[in-house]
């Protein structure tokens, strides 16, 4: 590209003020190199108004906004206490399950001890405490 400074070519850093103008979307001086004008035009197109299809999501986003802004939306945002209630409701059974598991462990240990005493396999001093079969 004649007249346009690329990295590694002489004058590569002299274009920085022009590049900054392009970034800031300011008009380039008329005597700026044509490739700079081309680049500015290209990026201006990119920063232009919405094209067909780009606002297709508006209805869904507006619906989400009106849900959040409505009294119902506010109350639904305040449903966290409900979730807490649900969490509390689930905490009860979880505790019950833990208690049941502990009770089953104790019962299994007791039954095991009785069975061990019955077949006379407990250590001597403990076996003496057990009633004779």
Partner 1 sequence: MIGAAFSVTLTSAQGGDETAFACLFRDVQPALLRYLHVITPEAEDVAGETWLQVVKGLPGFRGGEEAFRAWLFTIARHRAVDAGRSRSRRSDVPLAVTDEVTGQPMAPDAAELALEAISTRSVVALIRTLPRDHAEIIMLRVVAGLEAADVARIVGKTPGAVRVTAHRALRRLAELAERAGVTH
d(CA 121, CA 83): 53
Candidates 26, 29, 62, 104; binder of partner 1 (CB under 8 A) is 62
Q: Tokens 């008329």 correspond to what residue?
A: 30
How far apart, in whole angstroms, are the C-alpha atoms of residue 91 and residue 85?
Answer: 10
Task: Give dist(CA 27, CA 34) in Å, integer.
Answer: 13
- The encoded tokens of residue 122 equal 């407990």
Q: Which of 28, 32, 37, 130 binds partner 1 (CB under 8 A)?
A: 37
Q: Which of 29, 58, 86, 100 binds partner 1 (CB under 8 A)?
A: 58
CA distance 22 to 26: 6
Query: Taking the complex as a whole, how short is the minimal distance between the CB of residue 84 and partner 1, in angstroms?
Result: 19
Identify which of residues 62 and 97 has a Cβ nearer to partner 1 in the complex.
62
Decide: is 21 part of the binding site for partner 1 (CB under 8 A): no
* Site residues for partner 1 per CB under 8 A: 1, 4-7, 12, 15-16, 19, 22-23, 25, 35-39, 41-43, 45-51, 54-58, 60-62, 64-66, 68-70
């Amino acid at each position: 590209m004649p007249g346009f400074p690329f990295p590694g070519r002489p004058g590569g850093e002299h274009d920085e003020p022009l590049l900054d103008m392009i970034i800031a979307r300011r008009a380039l001086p008329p005597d700026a190199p044509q490739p700079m004008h081309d680049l500015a035009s290209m990026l201006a197109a990119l920063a232009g108004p919405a094209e067909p299809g780009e606002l297709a999501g508006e209805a869904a986003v507006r619906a989400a906004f009106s849900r959040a802004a409505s009294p119902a939306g506010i109350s639904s945002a305040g449903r966290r206490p409900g979730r807490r209630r649900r969490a509390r409701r689930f905490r009860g059974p979880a505790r019950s399950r833990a208690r049941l598991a502990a009770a089953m462990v104790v019962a299994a240990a007791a039954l095991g001890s009785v069975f061990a005493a019955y077949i006379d396999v407990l250590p001597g001093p403990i076996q003496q405490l057990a009633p004779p079969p």
